[in-house]
Chain A
Amino acid sequence: MEEILLYNFGGLAVLCALLTISRKNPLTSALFLVGAMFCLAAIYVILDAHFVAAAQVLVYAGAIMVLFLFVIMLLDLRKSENAAASKTLAQKAVGIFLAVDCLVLVVLQVALFGRPFFGNLPAGYGETEAVARTLFTSYLLPFELAGVLLLVAIVGSVVIAKREL
């Protein structure tokens, strides 16, 4: 059962990722990227990493994707508008298949929720407390270094984008 879920979501993630880079319309690409992010979140849930799954949805599927869509909205998209107007039968079929597949998977996952999928894990595995404990003990230095990395990125983007320094 677990394997079916895992491979289904894994396959979906790969499919969405492929569609992300093969679509001409940037908006379609961005939406498929959301799909890929959601599939990854589902895989995290299967692996009992609930906190990571929630963070994945909030940060990637939520915040970062909204940013992407904003950027796309600000770009001039008039050229590709017409291309997305009509859909072929194959496109519709793929769309319906994906929707049904996702629905079945989510239902399955909800039905199975509450018991660990793989092996015997220690109590509280994947919860916020366990993640926080690891993050602030063994991974304290990388955590702080990530802060430096973000500072560098902020300074860098201001340097590049600001009209006058």
Chain B
Amino acid sequence: MYTEQVMEHFTNPRNMGEIPDADGVGEVGNAKCGDIMKMFIKVDNGVITDCKFKTYGCGSAIATSSIATEMVKGRKIEDAIGLSNKAVVEALGGLPPHKIHCSVLAEQSIKAAVSDYYRRRGIDPLPIVGEIHECEGCGI
């Protein structure tokens, strides 16, 4: 049911772990629905120099988090918030229809981390990043 790319990222997740001195941390999803993604970013000169994740969830939740960290690492912060769930799905060679939800969480977790980064710098993230949808599945 999963593509080779999904299984590869699930089996060998990239950038798994925490950044203790992160400049931004975002968490989306909830335990009730069965997936939580937590993203840590390190920002230098407006560029995401490091990104790590911790995820509780199914195979595609782990794979989408893993690939999302790769897709934003080394990118300017304004590019990172443009990361769409579609791009995540494409990079993984597709996801089963009922797993698209995971790619949305990956997109939102990056946005949540960036929002936290702005907030810590006294900048209102809402006009820049937009609203974070914690869990579009159950509306929590």
Q: Do A and B bind each other?
A: no
Which residues of B pack against A, CB within 8 Å? Answer: none
